[in-house]
Amino acid sequence: MSGTAVGVPEALQAAALCAGAAAGLTVAGRSEGSRRARAVVGLGAERMPMRAGWESGRIRLVKCLSGRREWLCLPVALALAGLGDSVLPVLAGVAAVPVVRQWLRKRRLRGERERRADGVIDLCGAVVGELRAGHEPGQALLVAVHGTGALGTAGPPVSAAARFGGDIPRALGQAAGEPGLEGLAGVAACWRVAADGGAGLAAGLDRLEGALRAERRQCEQLRAQLAGAWSTVVVLAALPTMGLGLGTALGAQPLRVLLHTPAGLACLVLGASLEATGLVWATRIVRKGEAA
């Protein structure tokens, strides 16, 4: 009897769950069928402008944030402030905005420098191709500069020197002073030797292109070898955040302890200082390895 009494409620619960699932599937099927019917008769077209508006708004938001990613620190700080019931995360987020902006700026400049270095290699190859096709040196350089777009803002002076018969080695040497365009100093030297001594410009630029490509491959190999060190730095930087998340998941409320008690505030300040010092130290070690 007891087994029967226990089994009846379980059977009723199972039947209720099955009935609910069947009702949900029926409603979903009807909604799917009605959606298809509206699509067939064209009634769903009235929602297309709204959907297009949402899509265009999302694209504008992504474009706006792509150039101001440092402001994402504020939503994270507001979320932490809400979890910890304190204004200190907001102040830390505001202070982190210029630091993150500076870091992103350095990263962007480093990427632009690498792209310019690759552009110099492409420029050498393009000039060699134009010379072997029978063009004059000045015309070959002019076509290569416009074709590759490798020099950026340094392109117009070099193009003007090539177009109007100016001092091309001097223009290339001045352009080599910009970050990422250091390889143009070799191009200027090859141009000067070819103009003064009559040596083959195409052969010299070809050898220069090979040397620059070899140096680029060496840098990429070094960066691949240092990937493990960078991963270690990232993991060490994420450990405190993982600890806070684990403590919150266990119900220990670490944010309240850190933000509302004197001992917690002292631990927070000391830990943040040690974390920042460790990150700067590890980053300098890896950067020195890359520079070597």
Query: Which has the closest alpha carbon to 85: 257, 267, 249?
Result: 257
Q: How confident is the model at residue 197 (pLDDT cuts 50, 70, 90)?
A: low
**Over the Cα atoms of the chain, what is R_g?**
32
What's residue 247's pLDDT?
85
For residue 22, is pLDDT > 60?
A: no
Res 292: pLDDT:
62
- Indicate if the pLDDT at residue 23 is higher than 50: no
Long-range contacts, stretch 281-285, CB < 8 angstroms, 24+ apart? 282/229, 282/232, 282/233, 282/236, 283/233, 285/229
The percent of residues in the chain predicted with pLDDT above 90, rounded, is 3
pLDDT digit string, tens, across residues 109-135: 888 888 888 888 988 888 889 888 888
Between CA 66 and CA 10 the distance in angstroms is 55
Tokens read off for 240: 């405190």
Q: Residue 154: in which H helix or E strand, if any? A: none
Three-state DSSP class for 87? coil
Q: Given this model, what pLDDT does residue 14 score?
A: 45
Can you say whether residue 228 is alpha, beta or left, with left for phi > 0 and alpha for psi between -120 and 50 degrees? alpha
DSSP state of 46: G
Does position 283 have pLDDT exceeding 50, yes or no? yes
Please state the pTM of the whole predicted model: 0.63
Q: Is the dihedral of CA 96, 100, 103, 105 positive or negative?
A: negative
- Please determine, for residue 159, whether its predicted confidence score (pLDDT) is greater than 60: yes
For residues 65 and 74, give the distance between their C-alpha atoms in angstroms, rounded to a whole number: 13
Give tens-digit pLDDT for 161-178.
888 888 888 888 888 888
> Mean pLDDT over all residues of the chain?
76
Do 165 and 138 meet the contact criterion of CB atoms below 8 Å apart? Answer: yes
Cα(196)–Cα(198) distance, rounded to whole angstroms? 6
DSSP code for 45: G
